[in-house]
Amino acid sequence: MAGEWWSSLALSGASTLVSAAATDTWKAARAGFLKLFAHGDPQRERIAANRLDEAAAQVESTDAEHGDEVREALVQVWRVRLGDLLEEQPDAAEQVRALVEQVYAALPAARRHWAQAIGTGAVITANSGGLNIANTGAIGDITLRAEPPGTSA
């Protein structure tokens, strides 16, 4: 997956999805990601629904001491799933971007940890457990901020 254009988008989507689990934002996030993965196919919808529900249940049932570890593991799982989706269906990229922006905007402040690398090949997402770095090429200047791109801090 590394080295492909969709790697950083998959990481951003996965981080946003997992950040929404066990929050009031989950219902809308689940619906958006379910639609993205199902493509109108009932069997794919059932599989995606089970996976999304399992991820949310893992986050909800984890104690505070292990929460970040569980979230980090889930981010990696969903990064691969989103990466596979984007590799197979590159036209879904705009849907993923729009969904990430929508879900992020609705997240509680405590879950809004955002960091972005400006350049041609890196995305860094931050959460209370640390940083996820996807280097898909040369890294330019790195800017850390508390708001998503396109908004003023």
CB 37 within 8 A of CB 44: yes
> What was the pLDDT predicted at 144?
46
Residue 137 lies in a domain: no
> What was the pLDDT predicted at 49?
98
Residue 120 lies in a domain: no
> What was the pLDDT predicted at 114?
38
**For the residues 6-22, what does the mean pLDDT come to?**
88
Between 142 and 47, the more confident residue is 47
Residue 112 lies in a domain: no
Confidence tier at 7 by pLDDT (50, 70, 90): confident
Confidence tier at 99 by pLDDT (50, 70, 90): very high
| DSSP-derived 3-state class of residue 114 | coil
> What was the pLDDT predicted at 121?
46
> What was the pLDDT predicted at 83?
94
Question: In which element (H, E) is residue 4 found?
Answer: none
The total domain count for the chain is 1
pLDDT at 33 > cutoff 50: yes
Instruction: Return all residues near 83 (Cβ < 8 A) that are at least 6 apart.
Output: 1, 4, 6, 7, 10
Residue 145 lies in a domain: no
Instruction: Return all residues near 113 (Cβ < 8 A) that are at least 6 apart.
Output: 19, 125, 126, 127, 128, 146
pLDDT at 82 > cutoff 50: yes
| DSSP-derived 3-state class of residue 130 | strand
CB 146 within 8 A of CB 113: yes
Residue 121 lies in a domain: no
C-alpha 40: how far from chain center:
22
Percent over 70 (pLDDT), the chain: 68
Residue 127 lies in a domain: no
Percent over 90 (pLDDT), the chain: 44
Closest CA to 97 of 56, 148, 47: 148
> What was the pLDDT predicted at 113?
56
Domain of residue 47: give its range. Answer: 7-107
What Å distances lie between residue 73 and 20, 55, 79, 82, 92, CA to CA? 15, 10, 10, 14, 24
| DSSP-derived 3-state class of residue 139 | coil
**For the residues 88-117, what does the mean pLDDT come to?**
79
Closest CA to 36 of 77, 89, 79, 76: 89
Residue 25 lies in a domain: yes
Residue 54 lies in a domain: yes
